[in-house]
Structure 1
Amino acid sequence: MTNISFTDISLAHERILHMVQRTPIVQSTLLNTWLGHDIYFKVECLQTTGAFKLRGASNFIAKLAQNNSLPKHIVANSSGNHAQAVAYAAKHFNIPVTIYCTKSISTVKAAATAYYGATLAQFDDRPSADKAVELASKQPGVVWIPPFNHPDIIAGQGTAALEALQQTSDIDAIFVPCGGGGLAAGTLIAAKHIRPNAKVIGVEPLMANDAARSLRAGHIIALDKAPITLADGAATPSVGEHTFKYLKQLDAFYEVDEQQIAYWTQWLQHLLKLHIEPTCAMVMQGVKEYLQNVPKHLSIGNKRQQILVIISGGNISAQSMVAIWQEDHLKYPPSL
């Protein structure tokens, strides 16, 4: 298994500078006042294509170009942000793309993927799409770009944390959502080099907790059926062998229920005035639980913690928005 170093992330950052946005760090004075700590948000929802996924896809393809090994065709299996990222990045190099996905793909994400020039091959279920993309990848001149389980994808995703840690200082803990684990793995590698004393903490939905189960078991456990969660960006059936290696090095890991996901999606959208996905909004529940236990576990008294949160994306379907706003959570302000 390939080791991924900070050098890989640094090279990825240089490689994709002209292809991605250097997204800003934002804060909410009101949220900081309510929680008594300082929360910094790296807003990848403002990234081109609306999510961090563009970093990994761009690095993967740009590295092929750097090595003079661009393929004739690119394929990927995704029903969300990875699909848009691959389509956009491949368009930069004028390479045709086919995205294999389910017929349940949101109309918004399907339209965006097609707009970036990709052809969509839709199937009744995820296993059928996965099988089809595997067969397609065996054709001459075709390269398959996986959504998370590849060193070049992980290195690309780690550039978000690299930037964020350059934009901030004295960070005590970094929180990141976990689906397949590419962003979490890249964040860990970058953070341990730039801020070795900072804790790196993963968060995933309780209804799609394959990573948490795997961490408890000590080996990768796949979900036996497709998870249903508001945090659809983290609804992966299992992590990969490349990402799991780094997930095991995280300092903590939290699982978040659906009501908490809806609560924090509403509040972050309200406080930050940004269109934020449930997949990353849920991270704030992990932040809350961490901050509630800081004095007890870290013996640092009442020190004001400096927390970095990676806001991974902002692509939300109308159906998800309706589900998120079934109940008005804004009646109950955040507190510890």
Structure 2
Amino acid sequence: MAEEQKVQIPRVKLGTQGLEVSQLGLGCMGLTGVLNSAVPEEVGISIIKDAFNKGITFFDTSDIYGVDHANEILVGKALKQLPREKIQLATKFGVAKIESNNVVVKGTPEYARSCCEGSLRRLGVEYIDLYYQHRIDTTVPIEETIGELKKLVEEGKVKYIGLSEASPDTIRRAHAVHPITAVQMEYSLWTREIEEEIIPLCRELGIGIVPYSPLGHGFFGGKGVVENLPANSFLASHPRFHGQNVEQNKVIYSRMEALAKKHGCTVAQLALAWVLHQGDDIAPIPGTTKIKNLDANIGALRVKLTKEDLKEICDAVPLNEVAGGRIHEHLYRISWKFSDTPAKDLKLSTN
């Protein structure tokens, strides 16, 4: 058995309501396309099962991932082959559709309920452990949306409530209606904006943090640097993987290569280890379509870093040297900013 497979995956608590998950989760989105070509269904199921057998119990999906809800359907089929009581299942609602680079969001109580019931059917489960509002509909008061989710908790259809890509003001207002267990945000070495307001607020309120894209959409795994991007990957439209930007970002990757050699690991493992070391209330959810990458991600738990190491890693990736904006700023034509006013949440279409 490979050494990475022997790693004991620690448990962490998200929020103050009792949700305990594996410190490393699995983002399932890529199993049905988007980042790359979808893998065959049996391969996707085998990856989920393999992750569970190696100690990962926290699985993340959404009703918008894949054509015709393909991702939830895939995850549901995998769950039928696993002990449900040992799984922490997260899914999301709120992104109604994506078309022509336009994201349509909905957050009405009626829509939230219908989405939850649809996800329960597709996943083949009686309850969702962690149910996120995927994107914020600023035309609907967050109190109304969370009020409906609170009812779903009371009915036993949802255990814990989460938010994804929400502003500090929205998080605070939502938490006043019902405890928010986790906030999911993009967080990696080259995307650290949440350190300014979001992380301190979550810790003030006792909310867990779930970083998605902890490897910078695969950049720290070598995408666009040591391997070419697949022609059908949406990363081809990511500003940081484009032309001169990626050439400039390769300098950052080279610095990380040198540090990875020092720590006896890969660049991806070092980047993921950095995220894992940001606190005991953080559970990143890297995704993959390959068992070898799953094993490598688990191996990142073996990488131990001191405060000095963490600073050295940050210094190797100065944010003012990262070329190109976040994918949202390009793909969805929006300005991704945090503000104390709910109107400054992600400005997405609600039509």
Fold match, TM over 0.5? Answer: no
Length-normalised TM-score, structure 1: 0.31
Length-normalised TM-score, structure 2: 0.30
